[in-house]
Amino acid sequence: MDIHNPVNYDTSILHGAADRDEVTGALSIPIYNASTFHQKDISVRQEFDYGRSGNPTRKALEETLAGLESGHSAYAFSSGMSAIHAAITAFVKAGDHIVVTRDIYGGSYRFLTGFLSKFGVTHTFVDTTDPKNALAAIQPNTKILFLESPSNPLLKITDIVAHVKIAKDHDLVSMIDNTFLSPYFLRPLELGIDISIHSATKFLGGHSDLIAGAVIAKTKDLASSVHYVQNTCGAVLSPQDSWLLLRGIKTLAARMTHQQKTALTVAAWLQKQSWVKSVFFPGLQTHPGHNILTGQAHGFGCVLSFETDTTERLNTLVKNVKILTVAVSLGGVESILSFPAKMSHAAMPASTRAQLGISDTLLRLSIGLENADDIIADLDNSAKPS
């Protein structure tokens, strides 16, 4: 068996491109904290000349990321937002238009409405749970179809294959923010998507200790456009953080499997509580996107949202949790409880939040590696303090 082409995905995560240093045999790739590289001969173009253009530690990470989602190439950025910035600006110019999933991460919303719109790039938000909406929003100047599935924070599911067809028919670059499911549960390029984007801060990194972004491109042409922006605008991931991210990816399979199991248990428990108004988790059979997700992904993820019966209940719960950490972000080994209206989606106007159903009683829970019983007990005790 070729160690770089193992039979099982879980094994390929550990033995991807960067499983050993060729020179020393070290099982961990060295951290090359070098900004520049000695050039032996002017007439020979060496692989590495300047750390922004290429760094051996970052390269090992980028090859690993490309391998995880069957991409031609991948690129690592200093944050999820700089990954989105590069992926989008690589394919639009002033006057172009983007069709986007409506309930998208607040930071992506801010980027499109507050930043990109200033450069003459317009967008239309659509509910991508029905492909007809994206189709209807396409204009002659549309260049990108940008999806997020499961969406943030309401975990709505988009039919990826149907949207890929729409993008192909209209010559659009199809992109998806695959942060929530991670390559472990969803490989969008295998479904025909052109570009997959991650906030690698989340499940890929997995330890809430670094900020990173990733862009994975299906073809050489798509990849070179993204690489051009990475090198030109320079929002590259540092060698130290590239190494930390590689280290995080080694436990991706183990973490995702365990966290998903706990998420299912917690979601099922929440559904039965009288103080819980609704639970949003695509792993539940009652979730409207459950069947579509089962058809396109290898799992449901580890993030769920739920609404409490009252805002007082939400405040009590958030104030009293002991095991859960109240913070923005998600995808770490620690369970993180967040309040979208005031945190991740604060950049959205209140009226837009209301339209999307991001209410003031909605909480988002990213399930970590704690024992399921402890998480449930913490939620139970905090919601109903004695």
Partner 1 sequence: MNKNQGNIATKLCQVGLCTDEKTGAISTPIYQTATFRHIGPGQSTGYDYSRTLNPTREVLEKEIAGLENGDCGFAFSSGMAAIAAVVGIFKPGDTILASDDLYGGTYRFFETFARPHGIKTLYVDTTKDKEVAALFSKEKIAGIFIETPTNPIMKITDVKKMAALAKNNNAIVIVDNTFMTPLLQQPIGLGADVVIHSGTKFLAGHNDTLCGLVVTKSQKLSERIGFIQNASGGILSPFDSWLVLRGIKTLSVRLERSQNNAQKIATWLSRHPHVVNTYYPGLVSHPGAALHKKQASGPGAIISFRVTNAKRALSILRNVKVISFAESLGGVETLITHPSRQTHTDIPLTTRQCLGISDDLLRLSVGIEHVDDLIADLKTALEK
Known active-site residue 202 = yes
Chain centroid offset of residue 62 CA: 16
**One symbol per residue from 162 to 201: x for binding partner 1 (CB under 8 A), - otherwise; what is it?**
---------------------------------------x
Within 133-162, the residues that bind partner 1 by CB under 8 A are none
Which stretch in 142-150, 284-292, 318-326, 370-378 sits in contact with partner 1 by CB under 8 A?
318-326
Alpha carbons 53 and 295: distance in angstroms, whole number: 39
Least distance in angstroms from the C-beta of 100 to partner 1:
15
From candidates 209, 309, 370, 374, binder to partner 1 by CB under 8 A: 209
Decide if residue 240 touches partner 1 (CB under 8 A).
yes
Helical residues (DSSP H) of 208-330, grouped into ranges: 220-233, 239-249, 252-271, 290-296, 311-320
- Which residue is it, tokens 């590689």? 246
Contacts of 150 (CB under 8 A, 6+ apart): 156, 157, 180, 181, 282, 289, 293, 301, 303
Alpha carbons 92 and 121: distance in angstroms, whole number: 7
From candidates 71, 75, 77, 307, binder to partner 1 by CB under 8 A: 77
User: Closest by alpha carbon to 61, among 41, 32, 84?
Assistant: 32
From candidates 72, 110, 290, 384, binder to partner 1 by CB under 8 A: 110
- Which residue is it, tokens 């990826």? 160
From candidates 115, 170, 271, 290, binder to partner 1 by CB under 8 A: 115
Least distance in angstroms from the C-beta of 291 to partner 1:
33
Phi, psi of 101 (to 5 degrees): -55, 135
Structure tokens at 287: 């979730």
Decide if residue 100 touches partner 1 (CB under 8 A).
no
User: Measured at the alpha carbon of residue 21, what is the angle toward residues 18 and 24, in degrees to the nearest 5?
Assistant: 170
Nearer to partner 1, 60 or 314 (CB): 314
Question: Where on the chain is the footprint of partner 1 (CB under 8 A)?
Answer: 33-43, 49-52, 77-85, 89, 93-94, 107, 110-111, 114-115, 118-120, 201, 205, 208-211, 213, 228-229, 231-238, 240-241, 244, 314-315, 318-319, 325-329, 332, 336, 339, 342-343
